[in-house]
Amino acid sequence: MKHAVQVTILGQQYTVKSAASPEEVQRVADFVNCQVAEVAASKSVDTLNSAILTLMNIGGAYLRLQDTVAERQQVEGRLQELLQRLEQACPDEGHS
C-alpha cells in the first residue's frame, strides 16, 4: 500500500507517494537535505547547481555500491563453486 508523505527538500514541500514507510521516506528526504547542505557549504553555487552536484555525488555513491555488490556476488559464486568441488573430492569427510 502506498502512503502519501509530506517532506521538505531544499525548502520546497513535496507530497511523496511511496510503498515505503513514512519514516523511511522522511529518512531519504533528510539524507538528501544533508547532502545538499554539504555541497552548498563547500561551493558557492545556486540551488539548482547544488541539487545537480548532490545528485552526481549520490549517483556516484550508488554506482560504487552496485559495483561492490556485484563483486561480492561474484566472490560468493566462486566460493560456492569451490565448495562444491571440495564436497565432490571428499564426499564422506565431515559427514560421520
Q: Per residue in 2-45, pLDDT tens?
A: 989 999 998 899 999 999 999 999 999 999 999 988 888 887 77
Angle of helix 22-42 versus helix 47-89 axis, rounded to 10: 120
Q: Predicted confidence band at 94 (pLDDT cuts at 50, 70, 90)?
A: low
Mean pLDDT score of the chain: 90
Main-chain phi, psi angles of 56, to 5 degrees: -60, -45
Query: What's the pLDDT score for residue 95?
Result: 56
